[in-house]
Structure 1
């Protein structure tokens, strides 16, 4: 299938919405009823994922949290109020066999999946590789979620109106995908270039997936939640964290939503807006931020918006083709 038949038709420009950079998850979810819907959240036990899970359960959804450490996840999720239900299933995104086992268990349940929220990830980690030798950030942030989406595809299609949400980042502006050396076999490993490459992959994946899923009622979205201090920064030194400008002179977190410095509740708002907003009905394949579709980035004026290489249909198709080759998986277009 060519890129002309799979690319999105949704314009990559902001739309009318009542929300903004400072909106909270609670504001976005006000009045949303997900009773009877099944939702899967990777990494739904910490950071933005935990807040996302809480609000989905409060809206009545049955939420399956996919977590590498199931015991830790159950502890973190204990006591989350309903009326929905939260359960934990073990899954390690960097382990293909683990992703396959998780996906099979979901499909065998026989319930349609209305939302898949790909929230888990790693950032700026030391060099690691998966069992096939692929660089670890790309393998975790992209290939693991690609495998998961393909693995539960029948359950997404069965919903008739499903969304797949990929948590990307403004980090995609650091680097595009080096298709000649994704795995840093020939170039020196740079943890930030690797992270940027994986976040660009998240956005391109959403674009390519949306083209394939549209006729099945499955739409793909990617997003930047904001600059938020969570466990994602565990591989960073205090000096590296300070360099991002997220701390004030007293070492407290700076908050300036318009500049992207948000609370976790504000960061989760864009995740949940992409997952539930009626303003996105009939749309897909776009990169979002601040509870809206993002406009194009202009590096001369700042970091807001999306880099053109992260929403390029031809690059999205190239990534999909490569991902299919590397995993042996795809979806029914």
Structure 2
């Protein structure tokens, strides 16, 4: 049964931290995969989940950098994975399948934002390829390893409002706009969760998408400081000036809540914000209707399966 986009009274909010979400929750014996789990809100998610007792696998395009960032955090293992390279995704998933160890949660936290025009693979636009297609292939390849009751968490953004899926030109072959490309990829994250939940719920796998909030992290590396100043994000020295920015601990809270909150038991296929189920709205906070449309979600799933050659939940 699908879950409506209606608040459930979580008791948490915008200033809640990942550690607070997990207060009193014992994750001993749980296995969690966190892409991007060595930087920004991904690192804070890894830290909080590991502190609660889980074993965390952190795939990384830069394994040495990941190992340095995660040093001193018990219960964490790293391995090489480049989400822009489907061969790397297949190899990483193959090693997990050979191990046979199962997962209780997959948190797709890695991503790129407003990058210069870049082509990967067979000419795919980078943000759509990394933020969506790489994660789509990864989760589908890991489908046999997801325990009953497992949750898949797709980290989207309020930026999904910038663009729906551009069905006639998803790879921007007729002119590139970095923000529109980012928005499309974030819409794809939400639609992915909507249809994954529809396909996976009968086997006990549920999916969620979310907006973590605004957080200053390395995700903004492609946005010049001058542009961030003009947008009112930071001052000339790079210090945050917008009062809506969260700390990384707060930014990691919603994805951690999505993966482990008992309040979400039996639910799925919805978009979350500030540790709460968000409403469908025309503007401002909440989720745009184009991102939670089940027909659009099914259409994107078919396109993604055709592009990646992977369809583990319907195999």
Same fold (TM over 0.5): yes
Correspondence 1:1-333 to 2 at 5 A: 9-80=2-73, 82=74, 85-156=75-146, 159-186=147-174, 188-247=175-234, 251-254=238-241, 256=243, 260-299=244-283, 303-333=284-314
Aligned-residue CA RMSD (Å) = 1.3
Query: Which 5+ residue runs of structure 1 have no aligned equivalent?
Result: 1-7
Offset, 1:247:
2.7
| CA distance in structure 2 between the partners assigned to 1:306 and 1:320 by the alignment | 19
8 Å Cα contact 1:24/1:265 also seen in 2: yes
8 Å Cα contact 2:216/2:245 also seen in 1: no
**In structure 2, the residue corresponding to 1:161 is in which secondary structure?**
strand
Q: In the TM superposition, what whole-angstrom CA distance separates every residue of 1:235-257 from its partner, at most 9, and x where no partner exists?
A: 0111222244333687522464x
Q: In the TM superposition, what whole-angstrom CA distance separates every residue of 1:37-87 from its partner, at most 9, and x where no partner exists?
A: 11101010000000000011101111010100000000010011x3xx101
| CA distance in structure 1 between the partners assigned to 2:38 and 2:263 by the alignment | 28
Offset, 1:189:
0.2
| CA distance in structure 1 between the partners assigned to 2:206 and 2:256 by the alignment | 15
Comparing 192-201 and 235-244, the one that deviates more = 235-244
Distance 1:316 1:155, change over 3 A: same
8 Å Cα contact 2:232/2:242 also seen in 1: no
Offset, 1:287:
0.5
**In structure 1, the residue corresponding to 2:252 is in which secondary structure?**
helix
8 Å Cα contact 1:165/1:221 also seen in 2: yes
Query: Which 5+ residue runs of structure 2 have no aligned equivalent?
Result: none
| CA distance in structure 2 between the partners assigned to 1:314 and 1:215 by the alignment | 19
| CA distance in structure 1 between the partners assigned to 2:229 and 2:161 by the alignment | 20
TM-score under structure 1 normalisation?
0.92
**Matching residue of 1:4:** none
TM-score under structure 2 normalisation?
0.97
Deviating beyond 3 angstroms after TM superposition, the runs of 4 or more aligned structure 1 residues are: 248-251
**In structure 1, the residue corresponding to 2:191 is in which secondary structure?**
helix
Q: In the TM superposition, what whole-angstrom CA distance separates every residue of 1:71-109 from its partner, at most 9, and x where no partner exists?
A: 0000010011x3xx1010000000000000111111211
Counting matched residue pairs gives 314
Offset, 1:184:
1.0
| CA distance in structure 1 between the partners assigned to 2:237 and 2:167 by the alignment | 43
